[in-house]
Structure 1
Amino acid sequence: MSAPSVATLYPALLHTHIGLVTLSAGLFVLRWLGVLAGARWPLQRLWRTLSVVIDTALLSAGATLWWLLQLHPLHQPWLGTKLAWLVVYIGLGTFALKRGRTPAHKFAFGVLALAVLAYMASVALARHPLGWWRL
C-alpha cells in the first residue's frame, strides 16, 4: 500500500487548519468579551487549557502543511511574515485577556489583536507579505 499523496492529504489538512484558526479566534473573542464584561470564567484553568489545546493543534496542522508542501519561512516571505505577526498576535492577546491594566487597555489590545489576526489571514490568502495591501 502506498503512502497518501500530497493531493490527497492537502485538502483535509488545510480545512483542519482553517477550522482550528476559526476555533482559536472564536475562543479568543469569547474570552476577551468575558474579560471586558468582568467575568471570571475566561481566566479559569478549563478555558486556558482549551485554548492551549486548540492552539497546539493549530500549530501542529500548520507545521504539517509546511512539511507537506516543503515550505520554509525564510524562503517564502509570506510565511515568515505570518509567523512574525503570530508572535505579535500572541503578545497582544495576553494583554487583552490578562496583562492590560485597565478595561480600556484590554479593549484596545483586543482590537489590535483582532486586526493582526485579520492581517495574518490576508497574508495567508494572498500568499504575499503585504496581504490585502498587495498591489
Structure 2
Amino acid sequence: MMAFYPDIKLVHMGAAMSSGTLFALRALSLLAGLRWPRAAAVRYLSYSIDTVLLTGAMMLLTILPAGMFANGWLVAKIVFLVAYVAIGIAAFRPARGHRARAVLVVAALLCFLQVYGIARAHDPWGWLLWLGG
C-alpha cells in the first residue's frame, strides 16, 4: 500500500481544498442572499467531496506507521474537523438569522484553517505554533 501513498495523499489534499473552497463559496453566497447554495446538486457535490476526503484520510491512517501520530495531532485534527462539520451544518440551517449565520460561517472557516494548520505542522497546535514563535 505504501506505493500508493503519494497518490492517496494528493487526492486527499485536493479533496480537502475542494471541501473548504466549496464551503466558503456556498456560505458567502448564502450570506449574500443567493439560493444556489441550498440546491440539491450542490449539496450532493459537497457530500461527494467530503466522502472522498474522509476515505482518503482513512486510507492514509491505515498505511502510515502509528508512531507518526504519537503527539496527538491526528486527534486534534479530527476534533476540529468534527467541529467544522457541525458548525457548517448549523450555518446552513434555514432558520438562522443573518448575524448568527455569519458568526457560524466564520467559526467553521476558522476550524477548517486550524485543521489545515494541524495537518501541515503534524502538531496539535497547528497555526498556533507559528503565532507563538
TM-score of the superposed pair, with normalisation by structure 1: 0.87
1:78 partnered with 2:77: no
Determine which of 1, 5, 29 is the counterpart of 1:34: 29
Question: Which of 29, 45, 51 in structure 2 is aligned with 1:50?
Answer: 45
- Secondary structure of 1:91 counterpart: helix
Residues in 1 aligned to 2:101 and 2:48: alpha-carbon distance in whole angstroms:
23
Match of 2:18 among 10, 15, 23: 23
Change (3 A) 1:100 1:29: farther
Q: CA deviation at 1:68?
A: 1.0
Whole-angstrom CA distance in 1 between matches of 2:15 and 2:82: 17
Aligned twin of 2:111:
116
Residue identity (%)? 33
- Deviation for aligned residue 1:71: 3.8
**Residues 71 and 124, structure 2, Cα contact 8 Å, conserved in 1:** no
Which deviations, in whole Å up to 9, do the C-alpha atoms of 1:63-122 show, x marking residues without a partner? 0000111449x8551001100111110111112222562111111111111111111111
Structure-2 separation of matches of 1:120 and 1:50 = 21
For residues 112 and 85 of structure 1, do their structure 2 counterparts lie closer, same or farther at Cα, with a shift above 3 Å needed?
same
Using the alignment, how far apart are the partners of 1:107 and 1:83 within structure 2?
24
| CA–CA distance in structure 2, aligned partners of residues 19 and 71 of structure 1 | 24
Per the alignment, in what secondary structure is the counterpart of residue 128 of structure 1? coil
- Look up the match of 2:121: 126
Q: How many pairs align?
A: 130
SS of the counterpart of 1:131?
Answer: coil
RMSD over aligned CA atoms reads 2.0
